[in-house]
Structure 1
Amino acid sequence: MEKPERPDAAAVEEEAEDSAENKRQRKAEPGREIVWRNVALMSLLHLGAVYSLSLLPQAQPLTWLWAYFCFIITALGVTAGAHRLWSHRSYKAKLPLRMFLAAANSMAFQNDIYEWCRDHRVHHKYSESNADPHNATRGFFFSHIGWLFLRKHPDVAEKGKKLDVSDLLADPVVVFQRKYYKTSVLIMCFFMPTFIPWYFWGESLWNSYFLASILRYTVSLNVTWLVNSAAHMYGNRPYDKYISPRENRFVTFGAIGEGFHNYHHTFPFDYSASEFGLRLNPTTCFIDFMCWLGLASDRKRASEQMIEARKLRTGDGSA
């Protein structure tokens, strides 16, 4: 029987080199490089949040209420602040309100206002493309949290540089928060939520830290991420059936009014981010209240005629 021919040593070496080169190319594919530091930190954070649940029975009810209050402040820093005010300029806010929203945004710890708004404007302009930081076409996990585990696709930075963000840099509140962001996060996201229950009603520092800081922070992150993931995949599209964002009531409830996402991507300038005004929209209630106090003004709104015309032209026919 004829023996199989042994492969030439040079051919084996060449094949090994080709294989190594292919691996290097796959690793270097844009937007695919894993950031292990983020993977480790987010894993620890979520493990801490799961552990926090076991502390609920032994914590004081006042601490539960405080953690929820911090969650609302955190959410407003994103929804009324970074999103509706600074990203979309859908209303105007006076200095005291901008200072409050900047502090609340630091409590949210989701990047400083400038970076958050720049990436969000890229998300709207190039939605569902490689330039979208949390491109929903790459799946639920990627658009929810996976985008934080990978290096940004080069298109995100390239397209982001072409956007006009001069309005952000012209706001001294945004510039100040960006300059002292790390310090403000330590104070607003971790120190203050932990200190208040311990100092004022004698809660243990351990319970205060895990419930008002770790659990609250983790929940607020995931609620925000659901706008990027679930609200781009599940729900109806009464305003524009040709885009991915959907109306999602579950997300609306958790994200204090941000789940009317088909409407928002159709009319991004609308301060209410919804056709229905105050309904299921605590953020809109907050902005309206600030206007009543004289701290906000110039709320932009899509007209009823504009909304109905758009429904008839591009909507999916759902209510």
Structure 2
Amino acid sequence: MSHQLLNSVESPDKTLVETKEKGLPQKKNLLLEQEQKEFFDSFSPQQKLKWNNIDWVVLGWMVFVHAGALAAPFFFSWTAAGVCLLFHWLTCSIGICLGYHRFLSHRSLKLSAPAKFFVLWCGANSAEGTPLTWAATHRLHHQRSDQHGDPHSPGEGTWWSHILWLFGMMPAKMNERLFNKYVPELMKDRMVLFFEKTTALWLVLTGVTLLGTGWWMAGTFGALSMLLWGMCLRMTLAYHSTWFVNSATHLWGYRNYETTDKSRNLWWVAIAAYGEGWHNNHHAHPGLAPAGHRPWEIDPTWWVIKGLRFFGFATDVKENIPPTGSAANDIIAAENFEEELQKAS
């Protein structure tokens, strides 16, 4: 009798404990969902374009560079124009399209140490951000393409996807989460970390070198000519070349593949951005080194990669297009991103 009474007294507590234990996973899932929503919300224009979140340094830099680009024609010289074209190719094609994009973000190839240093140097001189920020943001874009959480979704407006998304600061804890989730292996790469810390220094050194060279050649006019053409105009053209990939190629063009986003292939962006305009191809097969998948889809960045491979500077180049379907299991598109990245390492 006493034993039955004891059981009847203890059973409510036991039931309560079991109920609490069953509720723990639900609470944990709710917490994770809230954290994820908060993370994705931090990339929205509603959050980033709040007055107290405006990145005045980036905004001021963009005003300066674009003003310099408008002034450049008044300080024309053939030497400066040549430097502009050379640096546009080095920073936009080699630095961004090859280095930050296909090499760092998508791991489409491996590079020897000298080639890796050079492409990261070119990327630093593009002034499109640090390598970790660029790669992490791009990987998130592929995972959330044209959805809530995409850092530059055209669904938030064409101007937002083209340029306005750059003008909002990320909270420090969100930036930390971005790096830890999307570029964990790059955070252990010494050379990448070196350029992460010295990006601004390389820009200053390049600017001073151009000014000094121009001054030595033609005094004040030469110094301004080299700075305005070699930095301001070149950067402005390269900026918009790559920004059109975020905006225009999610709005206009044709599709070779059925993807879950609105990516398109747009010939004039492919010309301006050294092959990056074949964007539907890229979103269908993001892990591939070539972006052009049809004979007429020219891809100058792919030509450079083939040249690097020929001379032994590039290895493990991923170039074989799967016969059917899209790269749904690509590590950049996977929901269980960290696990897929670990498997691929």
Q: TM-score, normalised by structure 2?
A: 0.73
Is the Cα–Cα contact under 8 Å of residues 131 and 156 in structure 1 kept in the other structure? Answer: no
Distance 1:84 1:201, change over 3 A: farther
Match of 2:159 in 1: 141
Distance 1:279 1:248, change over 3 A: closer
Match of 1:275 in 2: 293
> Can you list the C-alpha shifts for 1:212-236, whole angstroms capped at 9, x where unaligned?
1111111111111111111111111
Q: Are 1:110 and 2:128 an aligned pair?
A: yes
Match of 1:55 in 2: 75
Matches within 5 A, 1:289-300: 289-300=307-318
Distance 1:241 1:180, change over 3 A: closer
Stretch moving more, 62-71 or 29-38: 29-38
* d(CA) in 1 for partners of 2:252, 2:173: 26
* d(CA) in 1 for partners of 2:266, 2:215: 38
Shift of 1:152: 4.5
Is the Cα–Cα contact under 8 Å of residues 80 and 283 in structure 1 kept in the other structure? Answer: yes
> Can you list the C-alpha shifts for 1:99-156, whole angstroms capped at 9, x where unaligned?
0011101110111111110111011111123322111111111111111123459997
Q: Are 1:284 and 2:302 an aligned pair?
A: yes
Is the Cα–Cα contact under 8 Å of residues 245 and 261 in structure 1 kept in the other structure? Answer: yes
Match of 1:24 in 2: none
Q: Are 1:216 and 2:216 an aligned pair?
A: no
Shift of 1:185: 2.1
Is the Cα–Cα contact under 8 Å of residues 263 and 273 in structure 1 kept in the other structure? Answer: yes
Match of 2:82 in 1: 65
1:46 corresponds to which letter in structure 2? H
Distance 1:300 1:36, change over 3 A: closer
State the percentage of identical aligned residues. Answer: 26
Shift of 1:302: 3.6
Q: Are 1:100 and 2:114 an aligned pair?
A: no
Q: Tell me the matched-pair count.
A: 278
* d(CA) in 1 for partners of 2:241, 2:174: 23
* d(CA) in 2 for partners of 1:153, 1:249: 37
Match of 2:137 in 1: 119
Distance 1:294 1:232, change over 3 A: same
* d(CA) in 2 for partners of 1:278, 1:91: 23
Is the Cα–Cα contact under 8 Å of residues 55 and 169 in structure 2 kept in the other structure? Answer: no
Match of 2:40 in 1: none
* Ranges in structure 2 where 5+ consecutive residues have no aligned partner: 1-44, 327-345
Stretch moving more, 249-258 or 179-188: 179-188
Partner SS state of residue 287, structure 2: coil
* d(CA) in 2 for partners of 1:293, 1:282: 17
RMSD: 2.6
Is the Cα–Cα contact under 8 Å of residues 132 and 179 in structure 2 kept in the other structure? Answer: no
2:126 corresponds to which letter in structure 1? A
2:266 corresponds to which letter in structure 1? N
- Higher Rg of the two aligned structures: 2
2:65 corresponds to which letter in structure 1? L
Is the Cα–Cα contact under 8 Å of residues 270 and 299 in structure 2 kept in the other structure? Answer: yes
Match of 1:85 in 2: 103
Matches within 5 A, 1:136-215: 136-152=154-170, 157=175, 160=178, 163-188=181-206, 190-199=207-216, 204-215=222-233
* d(CA) in 2 for partners of 1:150, 1:86: 24
* Ranges in structure 1 where 5+ consecutive residues have no aligned partner: 1-27, 311-319
* d(CA) in 2 for partners of 1:253, 1:90: 21
1:42 corresponds to which letter in structure 2? M
Is the Cα–Cα contact under 8 Å of residues 109 and 314 in structure 2 kept in the other structure? Answer: yes
Shift of 1:278: 8.9
Partner SS state of residue 225, structure 1: helix
